[in-house]
Structure 1
Amino acid sequence: MTPDENPYQIEHQRIRFRRLSLGQEAPGQTAAARGNWGLALSGGGIRSATFCLGVLQAMARAPAPSVSSRPVPPADADADADADAEHSLLSRIDYLSTVSGGGYIGSFFSSLFLPGRLRQPAPQDPVGQAARDAYQALRFEPPGRISTGINYSTRPPGQGPAAWLRENGRYLTPTGSGDMLYALAMTWRNWLSLQVMIGLPIVLLLSLLSLFQVLSQASLLLWPLMAGVLFALPCAVAYWLIIPQGDLDQPPSMGNAAYRSMLGVVGGLWLSGALAYWLMQWQAVGALTLAAALVGTCALLITRQLVTRLADNRDPAKDNACANSVRNYRVQITRALGRAMAAVAVLGFLALLVTAAQALYRYLHDLRALGSLLLLIGAVWLVRRLALLKDEKSLPGWMRKLPLQVLALIAGGLLLSLLCLCWGLLVQWIAYDGGVISGDRAVAWRLAALSLVAAVLTHLSGRFIGFLNTSSLQAFYSARLTRAYLGASNGRRFNGPPQQRRTYMSVAEPMSSDDLSLQQYYATPSAGPVHLINVTMNLTVDPAEQLVQRDRKGKPLCIAPNWAPERPAPTKDCPAERYLLDGQAYSRDLDHGPASEIMSPLTLGQWIGVSGAAFSTGLGRASSLGMSLVLGLANVRLGIWWPSHFLDPGQAQWVPRDLKPWTRYSTQAYLFYELTARFHGYRRDYQYLSDGGHFENTGAYELLRRGRQVELIITCDAGCDPDYQFDDLANLVRLARIDQALEIRQDPGVLEHPQLKTVFASLEEFRQPPSADNRKCALLLNVHAHSPGSDDDLCQTPHCRILVLKPRLIAGLTPDLLNYARANPSFPNQSTVDQFFDEAQFESYRQLGLSIGQQLFGTQCQPSAMAQALWRYLQ
């Protein structure tokens, strides 16, 4: 892409191609006959995916608003059905933006458009035939059951995919107990492997401390005491030793009265302390006086060192006048004090840990020490259960009153202490050869050997950076999503001969053709909508970022196509996909990096899995030290580390950014970053990606960008919202105003329209319990661009409109759906944690989405006066 090229030109070219393929525009037209329409499918796990499936089916059956360039339908019935499918409301959608659970069903829908994906492509018009099959697949009703005795290649194109989706509502454990055992084995293998990876440096550190204790015969508690006397207290004193001669912007000088007075005081303390301790035998008073003298001396040295360093500043990124000032001195010395306090806390924790491990080893000798391991396993189980509450927007009343972030930090600290204690017991067991604690000389040799072994293993394991992702739950999660949802569009699973169908109609059997590379997905000519996949790049550590970014703790990363049919084939330097970070496109350089699995490009299924990584150590704006520590130690990790290797403008080759010495041991370094919620964005070699909903959960954020020219956004807002507070919508309104200078407001006219007011509600009306005849299930929002200079600073004509569909019990639902709602009072806002939908649950959410979609858009068999009124109103 050239610098002067419209960053969205490729997307517009793809939209032009799809419209020509569907006959929605004439070849001679030089500009689009109409504005773009977008569909946003929100996060919410399988609950959102299943509800959105029903909405997609309703849109596939409903007729689109009249288009002047629509061709005359053919005469025969089959061709007529194809024409209806091509000109359904769903065919009107140009953009598809997905987050989390919306990406499950969105990837299934978009992949249907790839020629040859579902059925053998037509030789004359493969793109058009694939599009007709895609729309007809969603028009199939009702979805039945999958059967190995049916040759789906001879059946309607929607029969196999619809049945496959229903069959795999329990996509994580579709085959029952066998899958539960598989998931349990994988979970505990990965957890134990993670503990070993974390434990190796812990064992190295604890064994070295124990060795020092054995050799010196001194208490380890002296270490934090020395750190406090030599570093922490001197830093506190050094703050007061620089007094400005004028204003705070003057260079710091040691020629002030405070510094000179301290020199005299320190000299006097050394002299009086020596006299008191040695001559007068006042040992307590003398020791205290000498300690004070030592603190003062260190304070003088630290002050001198810092003043000299500020005066000799050679950092081109800093202004020397600003750096060499009293103001900056005070900032730097306060930061040094913070680091010193952290060092004292860490050394104190380690000293207490070794002491506690020795005490426990003494009193929990023999097999009784296994109780600590059982306690650790029980704590991990409890953490896994409690951590899942983090995703829910509505917590029990008593839990809302609790300081959850503080409690998470306490729980994380206790879990870490328990883990370290278990490793400390192992160190003591090896040191004393499983016997009683004694002063045997062999103890030091065993500790030295253990230190050497731990050091070698830490060094070797630190080079396997791919462990970061393979030890998480992401691979399992993405694989199951791929089989359940992309497998539904893979005709090879159910269109083959009987023997093959018997093998591959089981979702437990992997099939390589289920997943798609982004090269296949974006570089194959198709008439599908432009699919935008939204994830969050976690960012908690960046001194250049200001308040808003620190509150968000993440940036939006959007994966979009970078190829259109009339363009040259994608190359290594110009791939089929592009990455938009906070709206800016970046080029990547993957030629320079380790030979590791982590460098492999992510497939479509993996990106969808990352977009749905709701439970992880990086939670966007919800990230905290406590939650990251708790979830990380329990290995509840669905996010991934990803090498962006972004090139800055004008940069020809990527240069490693990990220049710290400890990053040579990448595995442990990045695990430390992950457990402590220290995510640096692309200031490091690897970035932590998680659920797109951790930034914005409706999926409409990217569609609002004015360069995409979207005039109508249909949004399925299926996030967990039992009280109808519309938290996700409120977040979208704030982000649009702050980031894109767009104001989103409720449309007042639709609430007064004689026909539309029966299905459209205000935010306040949604919070009221619906009556028996209530059919309100939608919101209409206007998006206005700010126009400086006008009276109210807003353009009167909406930039675009957002039609929000909200899962809600309305009048006219089927008896089975009402029965399910009565048996499950939390429906249709059951917990996102529930990813195991049985037949009744799957059908209830699908039917609810279908009913709400038909309420607004009409059906195939019956023209809808409501839909006609809606389209007239929007025009």
Structure 2
Amino acid sequence: MSKPSPEQADLERKQDLVRKLDILGYKAQDDFEAALEHFRADEKLDKEDSYKLWQRLNERAGSVFSEVLQYELDAIAGRQAKLAPASLSETLHQAHERKLAGLAFSGGGIRSATFNLGVIQALAELRLLSTFDYLSTVSGGGYIGGWLSKWIKEKGGDVRAVEQELAPSGSQRAGRAEPAPIQFLRQYSHYLTPKTGMFSADTWTLICTYLRNTLLNLTMLVAWLSVLFLLPRGAAMLTEMQMLAPVSGTVVGGIAFFLMAIFFIALSISCKAPEPGQRLPQDQGTILYTICLPLIAAGYLSSIAVWQHRHELKDFWAQLPDSLFDIPQPWHLLIPGLVYFAVWAAGWGCAQYQNARFPRSEPKESHLEPNAAPLKAAEEKLHARHKLVVEGVGHLLCAIGALAVGTLLLLKGVASIPNAVLDKIDAVNLATFGMPMMLLLFGVTITLMIGLVGRMYRDESREWWARQGAWTAIFMLAWSGLFLCTFYMPPLLAWAFAEYQAQSSAGALAIVLLAWLGLRSGSSNATGRPGSSSKLELAAKLAPYAFMLIIVAILTTWLQTLAAPAPRLTAGPHPLSAFYAAYFKASMLSHGLLMPLLIYCTITAAVLGWRVDINKFSLYMMYRMRLVRAYFGASSNPRAPHPFTGFDAADDIPLHSLLHQRPDGTIQPQRPYHIINTALNLVNGEELAWQMRKAASFSMTPAFCGFEMPALPGSHGDKVPSKMLRGCYRPTSDYASRPALFKDDDALVKLGLAVAVSGAAASPSMGYHSSPPLSFLMTLFNLRLGRWSPNPLKEHKWKQSAPRIGFFSLVAELFGLTDSSANFLYLSDGGHFENLGLYELVRRRCRLIVVVDASADHKFTFDDLGNAIRKCFTDMHVPIRLNASHIETMSGPTPVGAAFVTGEINYAKADGVCENGVLLYIKPTMTGSENADLLNYRKTHADFPHQSTADQWFDEDQFESYRALGYQIAMAALKEAALKSASRLPGSPSHRIGYLAHLLLKQGEVEEPANVLPLHGGEAPKPPAPPKPSAPGVKTGEAGQQRA
């Protein structure tokens, strides 16, 4: 890669300053110099001290990726590492020159951890482990990656000392026992419950911890949902009070809210698209607050007003003649349209004033003579006035006509109401259906008006009305659903079980079974990804809705019992209407019970939301404690576990302690530099391009924690464009270090925190697996391994360890409302974004990347590999060419396939002239040439080596089989490449990763794959002939496994 010009580097640094100023709200896009001076004045900084200004800006707004990478490169090279302004192109140029090597361990639970243990042993035996610059881990790969990092830390940061213990050389090997950290792993292969069995304390501790945490979270959620389902009862009682009141303000209130909505509709629809920095009422949130909510209030109050004055309205309807031309006072029908137009005109006028204040820059090319320009301008002004008069008169007439028809429809609807005596059931029906019916009438009227206005409306205006109508419909459906579940579901269930007991019981059992099936399938790896079973997908999609129905039915029936005990009906069959009438009367007669119950549920939800830590009382802490004990306790020396619990707080270490300070004060990170990958969930994110992935990469390293999403054009109205707020990084030593309320052992990012979050596979928000109904189900049952962590973008929150009040975060989990704009982010398994750990290594332009893919893939569909390749190209424009067609598992006695393959990372496509990278891809595979112990285990366990990730309890044979397979495949892959390098460059020194590094990094030659799928354009070459089976002891070439 050629060195970037100073001008390009300066421009990139300036763009980073703009990003940081925009993060802090200084709107540097509009006027960079003014924003910079404003910031300098606020911070009282010297104008001549540019570095101090940058340093203060960095403290407040965080670091960008180029600065983070520059720090890492300096630290890895042994130079004085400190944060400083950096250009991305210059930093990437340095990364290419440095010829970095990265090792990636994929997700896959204890299966991946154990297989990668064998890979680590092979690397150590070949003296290659110490030559890697980076170690990137995901989920189960993080178990063993954290084990290795902790062990190196205990050795003073000397990876060669660990290498020596893993594979002693020469005479030291004789009679040498297996290293204690590996023996410890064998002891804790059942790391969740070391001692298994129904009467084991470990098993029951796990069960009791889950039940305790679930009970607390469930109580908080049930209290909150109870408040939600009690509100319709309050609305019904308020409706009844207003219906009986002799004097009411519903008419005035309904008209006022309606006119308020019309004013803001005119203001929003008439304003031009905002420029950056303008505050115009056009974004979605403003529309909801200023238009949709007033329309709901207007619909509710108007429905009560119509009921109160139904007799007068009926009389007026009765006086109307058959022909509209014979109406004695037709101006009554014109008043709504005139008032509507007057308010609309006021909103339109305010919009024109706003447009004049912030004119849009629209350059126009003029081909007129200079003397003709004033004449042309006057002609255009006269035409605009004429057009305004014509459109204004047209809108007035259309509004009068449409609202007159709407008024007649309202009168006709009121006339159809029977003149029965006021009953309790009327209040419930009016509260349930009144508001939706009024908004439906409003929608019909507006539809008619849009049709009458016709071509005078712009296409943009019609689209605006369509979207506003969609939101109004959503609120109508939500209102109707809430009221129907509250009032109509309990009597319906009571009637069904009373009249059709057998059928109802069978239906309830079927729904429960469907929900259970969906819970199992929805939380498995088999759903939510390409190629998954259609039946499992269908079950996972339908079951959450079924279970939500069960929960709502139980809750509303329970609240009905508490707030309004069910009436006793006489024996014998009863029509459904009799049940409804009896239940509605009981509901409206229970005024005294409603308010105490509402207050009690509100206080319960608030107190538990304040006192129950949303992270500590999920499954995350239970999972983390056991991971730390099994994998990090292995290298603690001496280890002093609690005699009753078996846990030792000293097993875990701060993540930033993996940075070692030299005597001269420079920072030296231990090799390999550990990158722990997690997923930032964006289930409710606004970026349209990421609707399928629903996640972004959030990395935790010894120096920095944070994220930086790819730059995409902003499209969010008056908000700062998304490319300016796409993320930042904060120092690991300070990130999440301040307790939220009181003393918090979970404050500060420790190695166990990062590894546990990286392995949080079962979570309500799971990246591309996410589904709002499934989120509801998993949150309700506390199947929550993820963690709420502070948003690095939030200046005053990023040091806080957890939300002070976890209730709102729990609601966000419940309804799948996670995004990157909140004060706290929901982090989960890194595999929910990219499961190999390849993404962050390509981002750092590693020259050599060794990826060990130990994910469950018994069909060899390579989902995780394909996903990683696609994301690298989409986000970084780096294509990866890899032919994995030879990797397969034996299905009979004949040796087949391969267990590794070499590919090419085309950095030149993104960075210009530079050396391309090399990717060595290793996958657990049984080719038929393995040792007898592995072949025996394969014959007795047909799904080996891709047993389910749900199996986190490895027995002795299982542990040793995966470890041995990882060791044999890694040795075969690396030894074969070493022989090739020795034959091409005999006697050449190797200072990085032995002969393999000499071949792939120094020589930089990668044979063109013979059968590469053209992922990003190009013509697919013809497939080669399948390789002939080789007898044991015969090599099979570059993409093969050495025969044992």
| Partner-residue secondary structure (3-state), 2:838 | coil
Which residue identity does 2:905 align to in structure 1? V
Question: Is 1:37 the equivalent of 2:65?
Answer: no
* Partner residue of 1:133 out of 158, 161, 179: 161
* Partner residue of 2:189 out of 169, 173, 176: 169
Q: 1:49 to 1:292 in 2, by over 3 A?
A: closer
Question: Is 1:427 the equivalent of 2:559?
Answer: yes
| Partner-residue secondary structure (3-state), 1:492 | coil
CA distance in 2, matches of 1:849, 1:232: 70
Partner of 2:962: 845
Partner of 2:931: 814
CA distance in 1, matches of 2:768, 2:95: 41
CA distance in 1, matches of 2:209, 2:806: 20
Question: Is 1:679 the equivalent of 2:818?
Answer: yes
Partner of 1:753: none
CA distance in 2, matches of 1:254, 1:611: 62
Q: 1:590 to 1:388 in 2, by over 3 A?
A: closer
* Partner residue of 2:765 out of 600, 613, 618: 618
Partner of 2:207: 184
Partner of 1:471: 617
| Partner-residue secondary structure (3-state), 1:265 | helix
Does the Cα contact within 8 Å between 2:527 and 2:540 map onto a contact in 1? no
Does the Cα contact within 8 Å between 2:96 and 2:847 map onto a contact in 1? no
Does the Cα contact within 8 Å between 1:628 and 1:676 map onto a contact in 2? yes
Identity %: 27
| Partner-residue secondary structure (3-state), 1:841 | helix
CA distance in 2, matches of 1:433, 1:332: 41
Question: Is 1:401 the equivalent of 2:462?
Answer: no
Moved more, 92-101 or 342-351: 342-351
Superposed CA offset, 1:248-302 (max 9, x none): 9x999982554322122234446666778799xxxxxxx99x9999668745998
Q: 1:166 to 1:206 in 2, by over 3 A?
A: same
Which residue identity does 2:78 align to in structure 1? F
Partner of 1:778: 900
Partner of 2:979: 865
* Partner residue of 2:117 out of 53, 68, 72: 53
Question: Is 1:98 the equivalent of 2:137?
Answer: yes
Partner of 1:716: 852
* Partner residue of 1:385 out of 516, 520, 538: 520
- Give the 5 Å matches for 1:57-456: 57-62=121-126, 88-114=127-153, 117=154, 126-127=156-157, 130-139=158-167, 159-176=179-196, 177-207=200-230, 209=232, 230=299, 255=395, 257-269=397-409, 298-299=442-443, 325-356=461-492, 384-391=519-526, 400-402=533-535, 404=537, 407-431=539-563, 443-456=590-603
Q: 1:435 to 1:167 in 2, by over 3 A?
A: farther
Q: 1:274 to 1:164 in 2, by over 3 A?
A: closer
Which residue identity does 1:865 align to in structure 2? L
CA distance in 2, matches of 1:394, 1:552: 10
Q: 1:642 to 1:737 in 2, by over 3 A?
A: same
Q: 1:192 to 1:292 in 2, by over 3 A?
A: closer
CA distance in 2, matches of 1:374, 1:435: 26
Does the Cα contact within 8 Å between 1:538 and 1:619 map onto a contact in 2? yes
Does the Cα contact within 8 Å between 2:118 and 2:966 map onto a contact in 1? yes
State the TM-score, normalized to the length of structure 2: 0.60
Partner of 1:68: none
* Partner residue of 1:670 out of 783, 802, 809: 809
Shift of residue 849, structure 1, vs aligned partner: 0.3
* Partner residue of 2:775 out of 628, 632, 653: 628
Partner of 1:77: none
Which residue identity does 2:787 align to in structure 1? I
Which residue identity does 2:679 align to in structure 1? T
| Partner-residue secondary structure (3-state), 1:843 | helix
Does the Cα contact within 8 Å between 2:737 and 2:747 map onto a contact in 1? no
Stretches of structure 1 that go unaligned for 5 or more consecutive residues are 21-29, 63-87, 119-125, 142-154, 219-225, 280-286, 307-320, 494-499, 563-576, 658-662, 748-761, 789-793
Shift of residue 386, structure 1, vs aligned partner: 3.4
Does the Cα contact within 8 Å between 1:745 and 1:783 map onto a contact in 2? yes
CA distance in 2, matches of 1:738, 1:252: 49
| Partner-residue secondary structure (3-state), 2:762 | coil
Higher relative contact order (CA 8 A, sep 6+): 1
| Partner-residue secondary structure (3-state), 2:966 | helix
CA distance in 2, matches of 1:822, 1:100: 28
CA distance in 2, matches of 1:293, 1:699: 54
- Give the 5 Å matches for 1:532-543: 532-543=675-686
Does the Cα contact within 8 Å between 2:237 and 2:588 map onto a contact in 1? no
* Partner residue of 1:519 out of 656, 678, 685: 656
| Partner-residue secondary structure (3-state), 1:688 | strand
| Partner-residue secondary structure (3-state), 1:669 | helix
Shift of residue 590, structure 1, vs aligned partner: 6.4
Partner of 2:698: 557
Superposed CA offset, 1:338-367 (max 9, x none): 3323332333233333435766998999xx
Which residue identity does 2:595 align to in structure 1? A
Stretches of structure 2 that go unaligned for 5 or more consecutive residues are 1-53, 59-63, 82-93, 170-174, 242-294, 304-336, 349-383, 420-428, 451-456, 570-581, 662-667, 711-726, 984-994, 1004-1044
CA distance in 1, matches of 2:962, 2:472: 56
Partner of 1:703: 841
Which residue identity does 2:832 align to in structure 1? H
Shift of residue 735, structure 1, vs aligned partner: 1.0
Number of residue equivalences: 720
- Give the 5 Å matches for 1:575-590: 577-582=704-709, 585-587=728-730
| Partner-residue secondary structure (3-state), 2:904 | strand
Does the Cα contact within 8 Å between 1:165 and 1:484 map onto a contact in 2? yes
Superposition RMSD on alpha carbons, in Å? 5.2
Q: 1:446 to 1:107 in 2, by over 3 A?
A: same
Which residue identity does 1:427 align to in structure 2? L
State the TM-score, normalized to the length of structure 1: 0.71
Partner of 2:351: none
Q: 1:213 to 1:770 in 2, by over 3 A?
A: same
CA distance in 1, matches of 2:938, 2:784: 33
Superposed CA offset, 1:497-535 (max 9, x none): xxx6xx67x995001111011232335655321111110
CA distance in 2, matches of 1:371, 1:725: 40
Q: 1:484 to 1:778 in 2, by over 3 A?
A: same
Computing the radius of gyration over CA atoms, which structure comes out larger, 1 or 2? Answer: 2
| Partner-residue secondary structure (3-state), 2:218 | helix
Does the Cα contact within 8 Å between 2:184 and 2:630 map onto a contact in 1? yes
CA distance in 2, matches of 1:253, 1:828: 77
Moved more, 729-738 or 626-635: 626-635
Partner of 1:530: 673
Does the Cα contact within 8 Å between 1:716 and 1:804 map onto a contact in 2? yes
Does the Cα contact within 8 Å between 1:784 and 1:795 map onto a contact in 2? no
* Partner residue of 2:636 out of 490, 495, 498: 490
Partner of 1:509: 646
Q: 1:392 to 1:702 in 2, by over 3 A?
A: same
CA distance in 2, matches of 1:776, 1:393: 28
Shift of residue 550, structure 1, vs aligned partner: 1.6
Partner of 2:1029: none
Shift of residue 592, structure 1, vs aligned partner: 9.2
CA distance in 1, matches of 2:409, 2:568: 47
